[in-house]
Chains A and B, each alone.
Chain A
Amino acid sequence: MDELSLYVLDITMNSVRAGATEISIELTEEGEWLYFTVRDNGCGMTEEQLKKLENPFFTTRKTRKVGLGIPFLKMLAEMTGGNVKINSVHESVSADHGTVTMAKFGKNHIDFIPLGDMVETVKTLIQGSPEIDFTYRHKTEQGEVMLSCAEIREVLGEVPLNEPEILTWIGENLREQYEEL
């Protein structure tokens, strides 16, 4: 994967598959570092699953025997001098369950890859799961870009968020916010 935004998409898909109803994606750029955090209220992972997570030969899926999402992310983060931290509470443990994935990247490192098109990543997520309340926030030193699906849903009522006209509006709204930075 040659854009960080694709890693964000891939990691957030884990939250979607965990049955989350609320997912927040937060990017923060601070000096030479870029942090991203994906937080969800999905089913979470057991301690045993968490321990195996970095092993590419562990996956809960049934269609293939390898799981590369987290190992890919970890490799990229560590190559740039950063790291990945994952906290998770399984639904069997607490009603307040879910997973938080935090990744840190060195922006000036030669192995850092461009952030790429975050707008496309957000649109893709909403297209696939219009019923989930995604919150997207990208903080830079110039200012902040923000989108809240819950807020949009309040306006839309029963109109699904993945109607093409709505997705176009979402994309244009985000791009305009980026241009204003």
Chain B
Amino acid sequence: MKSLEELKAIKAKMQDKVALRTSSGETRIVVGMATCGIAAGARPVLNAFVEGVAEAGLGENVMVTQTGCIGICQYEPVVEVYTKDAEKVTYVKMTPERAKEVLEKHIKGGKVITEYTIGALKK
């Protein structure tokens, strides 16, 4: 059973790490989680980002957060990526598979996947 004792052990392991992380959030991945996002499948997309960031050990520099409706409901699930020096990138019609790809190519590799962005859709 996942007991509170086990939770204490996790806490002990993490405390130092968390204290160091005040400067985190150089990169922000923001997932739209309003009715429009949820209905279009945002929950598994968010989950893919959260799990992917943890698995890749990117937690110190990458923050995954949620937001409400940003007004382009027809393109949900929408994911915005903010990096330190570049312009915001808006990915549309996301899936968990695309999320993994964005983590690999964009977040880790620094290369925007243009074909998933809103700009590509409108052309």
Q: Measuring CB to CB, which residues of chain A are less than 8 angstroms from any residue of chain B?
A: 1, 6, 9-10, 13, 17, 61, 63-64, 67-69, 72, 120-121, 123-124, 127-128, 151-152, 155-160, 163-169, 172-173, 176
Contact = CB atoms under 8 A, between A and B. Distances in A.
Contacts of A127: 46, 50, 64, 66
A72 B35 contact: yes
B73 interface: yes
A108 to B, nearest CB: 25
Given A128-B33, A160-B18, 11 more contacts: A1-B38, A1-B39, A6-B38, A9-B43, A63-B69, A64-B69, A120-B47, A152-B7, A155-B11, A169-B6, A173-B2
5 contacts: A61-B69, A151-B4, A159-B14, A159-B18, A167-B50
Given A63-B71, A169-B7, A120 B1 contact: no
A128 B65 contact: yes
Given A10-B35, A13-B34, A159-B18, A166 B2 contact: no
B18 A121 contact: no
Contacts of A67: 35
Contact of B18 (A61, A72, A152, A158): A158
Given A13-B33, A72-B35, A121-B43, A163 B50 contact: no
A7 to B, nearest CB: 9
Contacts of A17: 68
B80 to A, nearest CB: 13
Contacts of A121: 43
B107 interface: no
Nearest to A160: B18
A163 to B, nearest CB: 6
Contacts of B18: 158-160, 163
Contacts, number: 94
Given A6-B39, A9-B38, A159 B15 contact: yes
B25 interface: no
Interface of B: 1-2, 4, 6-8, 10-11, 13-15, 18, 33-36, 38-39, 43-44, 46-47, 50-51, 53-54, 59, 64-66, 68-71, 73
A124 B71 contact: no
Nearest to B44: A120
A170 B3 CA distance: 10
A17 B65 CA distance: 14
A165 B15 CA distance: 12
A105 B44 CA distance: 25
A121 B47 CA distance: 10
